[in-house]
Amino acid sequence: MNAAGFPLLSLLTFLPLVGALIIMLVRGDDAVVASNARWTALWTSLIVFALSLVLWAQFDTSVAGFQFQEQSEWMPDLGIGYHLGVDGISVLFVLLSTLLTPICILASWDSIQTRVREYMIAFLVLETMMIGMFVSLDFMLFYIFFEGVLIPMFLIIGVWGGARRVYAAYKFFLYTFAGSVLMLLAIIVLWNSAGTTDIPELMAKKVSSAWQPWIFFAFFASFAVKVPMWPVHTWLPDAHVEAPTAGSVILAGVLLKMGGYGFLRFSLPMLPEASAQFAPFIFTLSVVAVVYTSLVALAQTDMKKLIAYSSVAHMGIVTIGIFTANVQGIEGALFQMLSHGVVSAALFLCVGVLYDREHTREIARYGGVAKIIPAYALVFMLFTMASVALPGTAGFPGEFLVILGAWAVNPWVALGAATGMILGAAYMLLLYRRVAFGRVTRDSLKGLADLSPREHAIFAPLILLTLWMGLYPSSFTQFFQASVAQLVQQHQTAMGVARLAGVAP
């Protein structure tokens, strides 16, 4: 079976659905249902998180290949199977998903008062889809989870979102759906040439050079929207602004990583030649994303929108790192994704704390909150610094490694990425200064309550992780070192072959 001795990954994936089912069956008046739904969702997600710690403990960091594999028949005559497993690249994303879900549920404890039952069901279904996507080792299975995310997320934005929620939900759904159906066609093309959708088998087979650019483009359409890369990023600010706090947290924390994970899992290893050919294209888009969205972030008046644009910039650094195709770049990209998952999630939670109290996200409506709610201001500052990539916080190692890796490929790209860091410092510090410092201009702010025990519980793990990742990054990098080394080595071998054949530059 696997190292854990029981189907751990299936359990992780489908346990949230059991919780959702229990919530669905709760009977009683509204208040009882709401309270039961909250507690059931919280306990389910905590149990899932505890189970995922088994994964953390038992994962063998010296193995590059897939671990905890589970396999069974699904559509045998089509070569489509049920195959789960994790390697160094995916294991930490599973943990990120299981960590953020209980935090999201806690963050929605008071702020969601309508249709609590449906909300909690949507979040648990979302957790199943996220975990399932990261542990799938069958491309069709991956696609199903990848797309399945759309259903709960569409409802979360559309039902519990802000004023323009319908527009944002549509835009989110249609952008992502359009990208993914092209990927579906590419998956079928791969299936047609290999006779299977099993990911390890597909990785072992070479895709014909003529097809690689087309398949790369189709994958790109899907993953670039998800990352999101400039110029298909415009759904993200809308979705973030309109989504409820927890929706933004999951969106920034996990869903954006699906794009980067896709590039790393599929585009780079399966399509090495096309990846090399299109790397300059990706670099260009990424540098534009980093610089342009940072400038746009500077001009924002809405806190969530500002952080949303900063996410696009940070994810631009991730795509640069992935397509450097060297060890530093890819490790940096992975680390950046994980740290962004923690830090941007925490920033959205910080905004949520203010929004819950004042019901506005306008930066201009705040000022001087550090004097009124010092504990909150301290937390907010830590995450601001992490987002700026101050050394010692989670943001630093990832960006530093990516710039190192990019320097080896093309110093101009490294320069572009570094510009992003400078601009990032500018807009984040501006945000923090305007919100936390200065005179308290508005009377209503004087009555602000500081963090409640529930909010302390939400932020504590994120603070811990931010510092841990910044101060001792190797306890995280050790998970993916072996896998990344193997990935890079295979990529170089493939490129060597291609160069001999005269296909690649």
Binding site for another protein (CB under 8 A): 73-78, 115, 118, 140, 143-145, 147-148, 150-151, 154-155, 158-159, 165-166, 169-170, 173-174, 177-178, 181-182, 184-185, 188-189, 191-192
Nearer to another protein, 160 or 380 (CB): 160
Q: What are φ and ψ of residue 81, in 5° steps?
A: -125, 175
CB of 272 to another protein, least distance (A): 23
CB of 358 to another protein, least distance (A): 25
* φ/ψ bin of 368: left (φ > 0), alpha (ψ from -120 to 50), beta (otherwise): left
Question: Taking Cα atoms as reference points, which of 242, 139, 118 lies closest to residue 197?
Answer: 139
How many C-beta neighbours within 10 Å does residue 399 have?
A: 27
Nearer to another protein, 140 or 312 (CB): 140
Nearer to another protein, 118 or 399 (CB): 118
CB of 9 to another protein, least distance (A): 17
CB of 178 to another protein, least distance (A): 5
Nearer to another protein, 115 or 206 (CB): 115
Helices (H), 69-149: 88-107, 116-135, 139-148
Nearer to another protein, 173 or 459 (CB): 173
CA atoms of 177 and 116, how far apart (whole Å): 27
CB of 220 to another protein, least distance (A): 16
CB of 51 to another protein, least distance (A): 22
CB of 166 to another protein, least distance (A): 5
Nearer to another protein, 149 or 495 (CB): 149
Burial class (CB in 10 A: 0-12, 13-18, 19+), 425: middle
Q: Residue 85, SS3?
A: strand
How many C-beta neighbours within 10 Å does residue 438 have?
A: 14
What does the block give as tokens for 151? Answer: 């259903």
Nearer to another protein, 41 or 150 (CB): 150
What does the block give as tokens for 387? Answer: 């987002």
Task: Give CA 376 to chain center in angstroms.
Answer: 25
